[in-house]
Amino acid sequence: MDKEMDKAIYKKIDKEIDKEVGSAKLLLEDGSVFFGKLFGARKIVSGEVIFNTGMIGYPESLTDPSYQGQIVVFTYPLIGNYGVPFPVRENNLLKYFESEKIQVKALVVTEYSENYYHWNTEQSLSEWLKENQIPALSGIDTRKLTKILREKGSMLGKIITHIPNDEKKITEFQDPNNTNNNNLVPEVSVKEPIVYEKGKKRIILVDCGVKNSILQAFLRRDITVIRVPWDYDFLSEKADGILISNGPGDPRKCELTINNIRRAMAKNIPILGICLGCQLLGLAAGAETYKLKYGHRGQNQPCLEVGTNRCYITTQNHGYSIDSNTLKEDWREWFFNVNDQTNEGIIHISRPFFGAQFHPEASPGPDDTEFIFNMFLRVIS
Amino acid sequence: MIRKRKKFKKVLILGSGAIKIGEAGEFDYCGSQAIKALKEEKIQVILVNPNIATVQTSEDMADKVYLLPVNDYFVEKIIEKERPDGILLGFGGQTALNVGIELFKKGIFQKYEVNVLGTSVEAIRDTEDRKLFSKRLQEINLEIPKSNAVTSVKEALDTAKELGYPVMCRIAYALGGLGSGIAYNSSQLKSIAEKAFAYTEQILIEECLSGWKEIEYEIVRDSYDNCIAVCSMENVDPMGIHTGESIVVAPVQTISASENFKLRSYAIKLIRHLGIVGECNIQFALDPNSEDYRVIEVNARLSRSSALASKATGYPLAFIAAKLALGYGLIELKNIITRTTSACFEPALDYIVLKYPRWDLEKFKKVNTNIGSEMKSVGEVMAIGRSFEEVLQKAIRMLDIGMYGLVGNKVEFEDLEKELKSPTDKKMFAIARAIEGGYSLAEIYRLSGVNPWFLHKIKNIITTKEKLEQLSCSELSPSLLQEAKKQGFSDNQIALLTGSDELTIRRKRKELGIIPYVKQIDTLAAEYPAKTNYLYLTYHGQEDDLTFQEKNQVIVLGGGPYRVGSSVEFDWCCVNAVKTLKKLNYSTIMINYNPETVSTDYDICDKLYFEELTLERILDIYEKERPLGIIISMGGQIPNNLALRFSQANIKVLGTDPLNIDTAEDRHKFSSLLDKLQIDQPAWEELTSIEEAEKFAEQVGYPVLIRPSYILSGAAMSIALNKRELTKYLKKASNVSKDYPVVVSKFIVNGKEIEVDAVAKNGKLICYAISEHIENAGVHSGDATIVLPPQRTYLETLRKIKIVTRKIAQSLQISGPFNIQFIAKDNKIKVIECNLRSSRSFPFVSKVVKLNFIDLATRIIMGEEVPENNYSFFDLNFVGVKAPQFSFSRLKGSDPVLGVEMVSTGEVACLGDDFNEAFLKSLISVGFRLPKKNILLSTGPLESKVEFLESTRILKQMNYKFYATRGTANFMKENGIEAEVLYWPSEEREPNVITYLVNRKIDLVINIPKNTETVELDNDYIIRRKAVDFNIPLITNITFAKRFVEALSEVKLEDLKVESWDYYKV
């Protein structure tokens, strides 16, 4: 088969699709173009294109604040099957969602299922995306796209849903991590402290973009949670422990938080870091972080607990990692990823500080590592 | 860290025996993987499996193979002889598990110091015994269906009353849900329970969860307590329909993350609690209207689902399970696909798979065609794609039942509502019809219980079909064509709907650049590069994962779904062909789509395309791969039927010329050839009307054999003894016409059937084996008991057969495998069939004479020089007997009688010093029990009564007690043999045959039907059926009965030698 002719013919089809109402494209930094069908909002956006290999749980994933600034590609081809759940609340937090709104910049899938069915469904994924002003593309070869991201690393991309009046707008790629030296965390953190009253034990939750499920994990265990902004001087609050949450972007941008953690460590207050929180804990402890080529995003990441034969299947969503070679004395690697040997958690050898790079609260994902919450509880009691 | 593992020297693996409904080729795949895993550890592997057609019993697999029954008697003998230090029970299905439990109970493992590797027998018992299982679940607060294990019919009725009807009736130690069923009232329950107690001492009455979602997980656990859920699966058909009867998708589609991970969590909790080490399958029922659930069952062994999950995810469950059984931890093992990442992970799929069961119900007389809680399907197919529509339509074509996809064929239903409510094997087509007919999806959901998400997807296909129907080929827009292809429409289907033809559509779409792309299955959704070429094609793509650089490639086409007539034998042929190609340094490509096979193990070949065996798809692959050519003679009739079209499409067919294949396949051409060669054949005529048929039959004389053209397993064949039967048959097969002519041929009464399996090169016979049927002509060759070398065939006949075989090979210029069936009578032979491909009996003859016919054939096909084999098989020092396995007990209502239509689902073969020994071993292997005392005789027409008289005398001398129906008893009395008369079922008087069968007072039933083709519900039928329902050995063929009595009188159970395959030296 003549490949050039093939391409020419394919372009012909592109044109036809282009003419159709509701078509849109994804442009990548490296020049790749993907044509698809628009099923979300008609809006031009730019962001970091990353892929997630989870096969289920799009309402949870899309509302995960760690995806702030990212165009998410689902490798699983059928999305939208069970619609979007009713907004039920528990402890005044949305159930089945990880925050109040969709956090991703845009969504890219192979096949969007327009028809959906589930007992717990309020609307379709498309309706929900439109409501949240999030563009979404279907009909994309997400495997091809994923392979590009795997080979070349996560890169910037743009979703073009229409020709805007100002054509310049669509020519610039915006790196969410570098734009105006932007820190993404403030965008997803609470602005003022919120107290979730439960039992006697109290923890400070440093909200760098916390997932509801992390909060719920403590509230369900009858712990009172004081949720504070990322840059809040939490040492003024009285608490039994400190939880540093997950969140988006480069951990090194959260200097304020890192400084606060250092001060807390000096006071020997128990600290648990999750995901970004783990990286911040590492930075506070003097270790270094680096950006992974294309990150870990999925629900099947195997993490071995160092010194044991126990391997846990974890949910992950991170683009940066602690370089375990830079861990200071008194710190140990706690977990590592069995697939690529990268760090997945750190622990202090004698003091109550530890962090997990993965998500013990899962959601969506396996609950293998929920024991970490119980460990933390034991430390604070 | 990692503990030191105990080293095992010799491990015994139990196979699953013959292919039967509920236990098919998946266990060949599992066992083969286990052998591979053990051999890597330099462990000596002993295998017990009488299924000679399997890959696992091949010479290059286990160190020693016992082609002996997998039962406690023989396995104990083997243990005693071999003294293994370990045994694997989880790789041979329910058969192996049950034998393991039995041996454990008897203390055999303890006595001979055999370690049960992997899951302990105690844990297995916890999963198998429903009462224990409930208890174990309650201990960790998991929900189970409200139920009660009962030991009598009365208890069953009492429990049902408490729970309220309908209730589910389950049998402990079941295999494929045998005997399970929903009872809507007490009389139904009574009948189910009575039958069940014939097999087991305990049954379970439970709340009925019909309509709930059925969700399954494959869980793996190692001895370090690491636990992973390798695959989630959702049944498209709701609870109430056995998972083996359900269309199944992976991963789950309609449940939320919260539901999915809750169930996963319960599954892991339970598996840890039970202490399973290795692999297991767990089934849940999930309320479609809440997160309420029930644990349905755990299979603490490899299963059909695990084979499916292995193929669906690329995660080699059986291989890993075997390693874990040896004490390995998951983290010590690598992901075989990526070869860099760990085996301790849960595969992420970036595609969807769909399994569709293959039924063969129309082959069975009187069978109930409803599907439900008992398994009736004989095989399955799996389609891989990137949308539900795509995989559904692919899968339907893969079934090879003549359907072009979900739509395109004319399928009509008399009562659609009933069809939806009480589904049959045509359920999916009924749903499609209902959508076309304007039923609302809500209504279809209410009636069928199929989740509306699936129904919406089905509706998408219907909508596209309706769009296509409006257009001609030239009016087709590229986007509609693209859409149709994405929904799995074949070119042929589109052609039918747009009034065009397949190749025109193909040309058009290729011009538009609408082509499928090749994608890899890599277990990690492209997160890491895959080193393995496990492939499928999809229209939801824009690039190929491969670059197609390889040269020197050869494609081997597989056999498609297992079904009556085409089973594991062809898989063995395919695998062996690939092995030989590799030895010859060719790069190999396998195309097949049956998840139960070894040929679809991506380890077997260089590239595996898990794809359709259609001209369209093979062309797609052929055009991309540009191989040297394609081998079509290994996979049975599906590839063979495509021969001519391949050559028309310029596909290079290796081996015998497709034109010659066509000459053998086309009845007219073949007949003329035989005439030309002066080879005799039964008189026949192809006729297009009833009148012509009657005229022909009068001319040649009754009985006549009636059949359609292009056959494999004799579907819809029948024998007519007289004009009345002929007319009746032809009227039933109403579409006798110019387009659907019927072939009527002279049927030779009391002829002997003889088969030749052979290999030729450029028309020259290179090797051959002649086998003889025990049963006279009239029993399909697939159902016949076959012996090699022939025992009772004249030398003169054999010589003639050899001459004719040479002539045919020469004239058709055969290069490769072929098989000819002869009928011999009075030293005259006639050719009744000839296939220029490997046949069902190739593994049998290859393994008995220890000459791999497929290896030779493949070398010839590739143009290698091979020596002519002048060896005479009459010099064999032993005898091989191949016996059929029937699955009548699963097929409620079916008449367990043999005829010209094949009805067996599998086969075994055993070796012995003489015929009798091999014969009895093979019978025991297919579940036959030698009678202890009481034999029921009902020997049919006078001539068979007379024929059996001598045998009756022999049995009498052996002190058997006879029961007989009146006619037979009178005849016996006249000849001086006493028999207790039992009344016919219809007489409703005691002592009645039925009462004796139900109370299991009879050890063997010999019932010779008066006319093999009678379909009326009659007494004979009821006797046969009851015998099957109550698991009493049954013989219905007179020749077979005589040989059985002979064998019984000559050989005792203790005389059956326990020797491995290599003991029998050629």
Residue range B341-383, pLDDT digits in tens: 889 999 999 999 999 999 998 888 888 889 988 899 999 999 9
Work out the mean pLDDT of chain B and round it to a whole number: 93
Q: How confident is the model at residue B2 (pLDDT cuts 50, 70, 90)?
A: low
Query: At which residue do the structure tokens 């100002």 appear?
Result: A166
- The CATH topology of domain B518-654 is Rossmann fold (3.40.50)
Q: Report how far residue B684's alpha carbon sits from residue B843's, in angstroms, rounded to the nearest whole number.
A: 32
Structure confidence by residue, pLDDT tens digits, B756-767: 999 999 999 999
pLDDT for the residue A6: 41
Judged by CB atoms closer than 8 Å, whether chains meet at B348 and A75 is answered as yes
- Give the C-alpha separation, B83 to B106, whole Å: 17
Residue A70: pLDDT over 80: yes
A77 with B514: Cβ contact below 8 A: no
Residue B453 and residue A365: Cβ atoms within 8 Å? no
**CA atoms of B221 and B325, how far apart (whole Å):** 10
Amino acid B46: pLDDT: 98
B10-119 — its CATH code?
A: 3.40.50.20
Q: How confident is the model at residue A17 (pLDDT cuts 50, 70, 90)?
A: very low
Residue B5 has what pLDDT? 83
DSSP lists the bridge partners of residue B64 as: B46
Q: Using 50, 70 and 90 to split pLDDT, how confident is the model at A20?
A: low
For B306-344, how does the pLDDT look when each residue is reduced to its tens digit (9 = 90+)? 999 999 999 999 999 999 999 999 999 988 888 888 899
Query: What is the secondary structure of B423-443 as a DSSP string?
Result: -BTTHHHHHHHHHHTT--HHH
Query: Rounded to the nearest 10 degrees, how much is the dihedral formed by the CA atoms of B795, B800, B801, B802?
Result: 90
* Confidence band, pLDDT 50/70/90 cuts, at residue B714: very low
Mean pLDDT confidence for A141-158? 95
> Three-state secondary structure along B752-817?
EEEEEEEEEECCEEEEEEEEEEEEECCCCCCCCCEEECCCCCCHHHHHHHHHHHHHHHHHCCCCEE
pLDDT tens per residue across span B228-238: 999 999 999 99
CB-based contact A146 B526, cutoff 8 Å: yes
Rounded to whole angstroms, how far apart are CA atoms A272 and A269? 10
Write down the pLDDT at residue B172. Answer: 59
Is residue B1016's pLDDT more than 70? no
Which residues, listed in sequence order, are joined to residue A52 by a DSSP beta bridge?
A: A74
The C-alpha of A347 sits at a distance from chain B's nearest C-alpha, in angstroms, of 19
- Tens digit of pLDDT for each residue in B532-563? 999 999 999 999 999 999 999 999 999 999 99
How far apart CA A277 and CA B317 sit, in angstroms, is: 37
Query: Residues of B numbered 470-499 whose beta carbons fall under 8 angstroms of chain A's beta carbons: which are they?
Result: 477-479, 482
Mutate to test the interface with A, among B223, B256, B324 (most CBs of A within 10 A): B256
Interchain contact B463–A (C-beta under 8 A): no
- Please name each of the domains of chain A with its CATH number: 3-177 (3.50.30.20), 185-380 (3.40.50.880)
Segment of B80-84, B564-568, B709-713 carrying the highest mean pLDDT: B80-84
What does the domain layout of chain B look like in residue ranges?
10-119, 146-208, 212-300+303-347, 354-514, 518-654, 655-680+749-876, 683-747, 913-1055
Cβ-nearest to B288 among A119, A310, A368: A119
pLDDT confidence of residue B846? 96
What radius of gyration do chain A's Cα atoms show?
Answer: 21
Is the pLDDT reported for residue A9 higher than 90?
Answer: no
Contacts of residue A301 in chain B, CB cutoff 8 Å? 345
Q: Do B527 and A146 touch (CB under 8 A)?
A: yes
Residue of A17, A78, A298 with shortest CB distance to B387: A78
State how far residue B423 is from chain A, nearest Cα, in angstroms. 22
pLDDT at A181 over 70: no
What is the average pLDDT across B1049-1059?
96
pLDDT value of position B177: 53
What pLDDT is stored for residue B591 in this prediction?
Answer: 98
Cα gap B925→B17, rounded to integer Å: 7
What's the pLDDT at A114? 93
CB–CB contact A10 B451 (8 Å): no
Give me the pLDDT at residue B204, please: 84
Alpha helices by DSSP H, listed for B862-1011, are: 915-925, 942-957, 966-974, 993-998
Which pLDDT score is estimated for A1? Answer: 35
* Alpha-carbon separation of residue A249 from A148, A175, A177, B484 (angstroms): 21, 10, 6, 42
Give the three-class secondary structure for B557: strand
Nearest C-alpha of chain A: how many angstroms from B227? 8
- Which of B486, B527, B545 should we substitute to test contact with A (largest number of A Cβ atoms within 10 Å)? B527
Cα-Cα-Cα-Cα dihedral sign, residues B458, B461, B467, B470: negative
Q: Is B1040 on the interface with A (CB under 8 A)?
A: no
B528 interface with A at CB cutoff 8 Å:
yes
Shortest CA distance from B332: residue in chain A: A309
B contact residues 329-368, partner A, Cβ 8 Å cutoff? 329-331, 340-342, 344-352
Total residue length of chain A: 381
C-beta atoms surrounding B750 within 10 Å: 11
Note whether A77 and B351 are within 8 A (CB): yes
For residue A99, the SS3 value is coil
Minimal C-alpha gap between A272 and chain B (Å): 24
- Which residues on neighbouring strands pair with residue B167, listed in sequence order? B183, B207
Report the 3 state secondary structure along A173-186.
Answer: CCCCCCHHHCCCHH
Residue B854 has pLDDT above 50, yes or no: yes
Residue of A nearest to B543 (CA): A144
For range B167-172, the mean pLDDT? 79
B263 neighbourhood in chain A, CB within 8 Å: none
Q: What is the CATH number of domain B683-747?
A: 3.30.1490.20
Per-residue confidence (pLDDT) for residue A10, from 0 to 100: 42
Q: Is B256 in Cβ contact with A96 (below 8 Å)?
A: yes
Contact predicate A273/A306, CB 8 Å? no
Counted across chains A and B, CB pairs separated by less than 8 A come out at 199
The model carries a pTM of 0.95
Number of other residues whose CB lies within 10 A of the CB of residue B344? 29
CATH classification (class only), B354-514: mainly alpha
Which residues of A are less than 8 Å from B388 in CB distance? 78
Task: Express each pLDDT in B105-130 by its tens digit.
Answer: 999 999 999 999 999 999 999 999 88
| pLDDT at A242 exceeding the cut of 80 | yes
Can you tell me the mean pLDDT for B279-303?
95
Q: How long, in residues, is chain B?
A: 1066
Rounded distance between C-alpha atoms, residue B574 and residue B592, angstroms? 10
Which residues have CB under 8 Å from B372's CB, separation 6+? B181, B182, B240, B241, B242, B245
Give yes or no for residue B1017 having a pLDDT over 70: no
Which of A115, A142, A309, A341 would best serve as a mutation to test chain B binding (most B beta carbons within 10 A)? A309
Nearest by CB to residue B478, choosing from A6, A13, A300, is A13
Integer CA distances (angstroms), A9 to B238, B512, B519, in order: 44, 6, 21
pLDDT of B861: 98
* pLDDT > 70? residue A182: yes
Tell me: pLDDT of B654 over 70.
yes
Q: How does pLDDT run across B775-833, given as a tens digit for each residue?
A: 999 899 999 999 999 999 999 999 999 999 999 999 999 999 999 999 999 999 999 99
pLDDT for res B148? 86
The answer to whether B785 and B881 are in contact (CB under 8 A) is: yes
Asked if A144 and B543 come within 8 Å (Cβ–Cβ), the reply is: yes
The pLDDT of residue B503 is 95
CB A52 within 8 A of CB A84: no
Which tens digit of pLDDT belongs to each residue from B721-753?
889 888 887 776 655 666 677 889 999 988 999
Query: A119, B527: Cβ pair inside 8 Å?
Result: no
Among A60, A115, A311, the residue with its CB nearest the CB of B456 is A115
Active site residues of A: 275, 359, 361
B265 in contact with A, Cβ within 8 Å: yes
Q: Is B1014 exposed, middle or buried (0-12, 13-18, 19+ CB in 10 A)?
A: middle
Q: Say yes or no for a CB contact (<8 Å) between B545 and A143.
A: yes
Domains B10-119 and B518-654 belong to one CATH topology? yes
Q: ipTM score here?
A: 0.94
Q: Which sign does the torsion angle of CA A175, A176, A178, A181 carry? A: positive
CA–CA min distance A311, chain B (Å):
6
Confidence of residue A15 (pLDDT cuts 50, 70, 90): low
Whether residue B341 and residue A338 make contact (CB cut-off 8 A), yes or no, is yes
For chain A, the farthest-separated pair of C-alpha atoms sits apart, in whole angstroms, at 73
pLDDT tens string B249-258: 999 999 999 9
Sheet containing A353-356: give its strands across. Answer: A194-196, A224-229, A202-207, A241-244, A271-274, A353-356, A343-348, A331-337, A288-305, A311-323
Residues 188-247 of B with CB under 8 A from A: 224-226, 228-229
Contact between B513 and A76 using a beta-carbon 8 Å cutoff: no
CA proximity to A362, closest of A314, A319, A318, A321: A314
Question: How far A61 CA lies from chain B's nearest CA (Å)?
Answer: 10
Cα distance between residue A373 and residue B304, in whole Å = 38
Asked whether residue B1066 carries a pLDDT value surpassing 90, the answer given is no
User: What's the pLDDT at A152?
Assistant: 94
CB B210 within 8 A of CB B166: yes
Q: What is the average pLDDT across B132-146?
A: 94
CATH architecture of B146-208: 2-Layer Sandwich (3.30)
Residue B1013 has pLDDT above 50, yes or no: no
Which tens digits make up the pLDDT trace of A303-338?
Answer: 999 999 999 999 999 999 999 999 999 999 999 999
Looking at residue A178, its pLDDT comes to 64
What pLDDT does A19 receive?
Answer: 53
From residue B229, give the alpha-carbon distance in Å to each of B126, B346, B458: 21, 6, 29
Q: Are strands A70-74 and A224-229 parallel, antiparallel or unpaired?
A: unpaired
C-alpha distances in Å from residue B1018, one per residue of B224, B272, B890, B958, B1023: 60, 53, 20, 32, 9
Q: Are A154 and A175 in contact (CB under 8 A)?
A: no
Q: Is the pLDDT of residue B99 over 60?
A: yes
Burial A129-151 (b: 16+ CB within 10 A, else e): bbeeebbbbbbbbbbbbbbbbbe
Q: Which residue of A has its CA nearest to B338?
A: A339
Cα separation, B340 vs B531, in Å, equals 9
State which fold the B212-300+303-347 domain adopts: D-amino Acid Aminotransferase; Chain A, domain 1 (3.30.470)
Q: Which stretch of DSSP H or E encloses residue B836? A: none
Whether residue A75 and residue B290 make contact (CB cut-off 8 A), yes or no, is: no
Output the pLDDT for position B707. 79
Do A301 and B451 make contact, defined as CB atoms within 8 angstroms? no
Q: Which residue has the tokens 């203790």?
A: B1054
Averaged pLDDT, B444-462 = 97
For residue A138, is pLDDT > 90?
yes
B contact test, residue of A33, A64, A81, A112 with most B CBs within 10 A: A81
Q: Does B623 touch chain A (CB under 8 A)?
A: yes
Confidence class of residue B1 from pLDDT cuts 50, 70 and 90? low
Contact A119/B289, CB-based, under 8 Å? yes
Report pLDDT for B706: 87
- CA quadruple B868, B871, B872, B877: dihedral positive or negative? negative
Higher per-residue confidence, B594 vs B340: B594
**Residues B592/B610, Cβ–Cβ less than 8 Å:** yes
Those residues whose C-beta lies under 8 Å from the C-beta of residue B121, and which sit 6 or more positions away, are B89, B100, B101, B104, B109
Q: pLDDT confidence of B892, banded at 50, 70, 90?
A: confident
- B767 close to B851: Cβ distance less than 8 angstroms: yes
CA dihedral (A74, A75, A78, A81) positive or negative: negative
Q: B772-791: b or e for each residue (b if 16 or more CB lie within 10 Å)?
A: bbbbbbbbbbbbbbbbbbbe
Q: Is pLDDT of B416 > 80? A: yes
User: B482-511: per-residue pLDDT in tens?
Assistant: 999 999 999 999 999 999 999 999 999 999
Three-state DSSP state, B912? strand
Within an 8 Å CB–CB cutoff, is residue B654 touching chain A? no
Q: Thinking of the domain B913-1055, which architecture would CATH place it in?
A: 3-Layer(aba) Sandwich (3.40)
Mutate to test the interface with A, among B3, B341, B350 (most CBs of A within 10 A): B350
Q: What's the rounded mean pLDDT across residues B850-867?
A: 96
On the question of pLDDT at A283 being above 90, the answer is yes
pLDDT at residue A56 tops 80? yes
- Find how far residue B761's CA is from the centre of its chain: 32
| Among the four given CATH numbers 3.40.605.10, 3.40.710.10, 3.30.470.20, 3.30.420.40, the one describing domain B655-680+749-876 | 3.30.470.20
Question: Does a cis peptide bond (omega within 30 degrees of 0) precede residue A364?
Answer: yes
